[in-house]
Structure 1
């Protein structure tokens, strides 16, 4: 850990704590700084404060930056479905069943292992386990992910994420017939106090908003499009369960009786963002995978 401190000036009065630290550390993104605050690496006058704390003149802000470990992950020759690539970014269509980055239980055959074989110029902002990874999707969720190939691109994309400027649309098959064409779920998400392996809608959770639109209805199922306004862990899975329409095949949040699909019927279909260097809007649309189409066809035949 490397430690720093700063005395808030008159001009910086009422600046949010996370914004202040991002201004002081221009090579770091707002989301990174918020991570330091969440992990209690930041104090104001010796006290822990939230990211939205409004700074006062003469406040003493102290923060510690975790050291970035040298990259020590095995590059593996795993085929990648790449939709776009240039010197700054890479857009990849992740298959169902692939973990995004190495962890205690998954040291190999992850998207990061495959990316390191494909290109050795990934951003180092997220450290040893998650080079280039700006956002994640679950192991058994398929679809589009953006990868940063340098720190400047990573900072730009992370800032767009925190400011809700990145477009992320998913498609899902859920249990139950949703009776209206569109809707919004605005419910905070945090760790489930009864099961730490799950997330849930909890009073002290982080704000989470999901918009949805019905694409096709059946008597017992709905094919739905979900657009993320925020990106909490398991957000769509938790929100759809919360309103009574859990995702088909979901082993964690679905009903006991559901289809065996080796995971949830959820696909990250659309991804849009402003290019970090040119600011040009880029948008990609990926086709639903075979298992998803086959499940829809099966439901079609039922009715």
Structure 2
């Protein structure tokens, strides 16, 4: 019995010996913050085991209208590096940053990307009266322009995100430079494969059938990259209100051009798209991911999974499969 206990004690000590370094490794990881789940995944792919990534807007959340919590301010205060998207996506971030009092560098992950600019949709009433009409006429020659923040929807842009993330991690953790560079290089190869597969998938769809309706204008970069026309009742932010005029126009266009692909986005209220689908007689093609990943058990737990999921649904709907 004594020998058995001795062996058991030795085995327990060995297990604890192996567990301790793992626990220490986790504790030694550099704490970093990413504002939303897609960006968080890109940071995790490059950072690997050397970083502990805290994502503020969790999978399924909407970064356009997020309400930060005291825990978010605490996370930023304790971070060594903070990654944001920029391009106007996180309108709430400056207030959170000030509340956190952090000294961490703020990395704009879209640095170097050419932003997509567009004329803002009319989000007011369909008819102006009196002074309002005069103001509207005065501004007619100078349309308001907005920046599309959804740059990650182009895989070529995602590669720029990865380069910016790699450089920031190397600068703030030089001891891990080789790891970050190797991780980034391996991930960029995966993105090259993803890009090739995506282009090949859409090349099989006739150009006249590459038209898609989505909840809000989140796929402009994707459409420009892969030759697809995306139409949406809402603008580039989910905060925008879809006017009755825009919805009616969209329904007429769907019927006239026989658009087959209508999708609900996972972060938006499905009622508007379902109404458009019903009135146009087109069945929705499912839920696609625009601004957020799915939970780990879902079909879009990573950036690469998200793109592949969206491509599969989009191509099937376009060809009427």
1 or 2, which has the higher helix percentage?
Answer: 2
Same fold (TM over 0.5): no
Between structure 1 and structure 2, the one with the greater Rg is: 2
RCO comparison, higher one (Cα < 8 Å, 6+): 2
Tell me which interval the TM-score lies in, with the shorter structure as reference length: under 0.3
1 or 2, which has the higher strand percentage?
Answer: 1
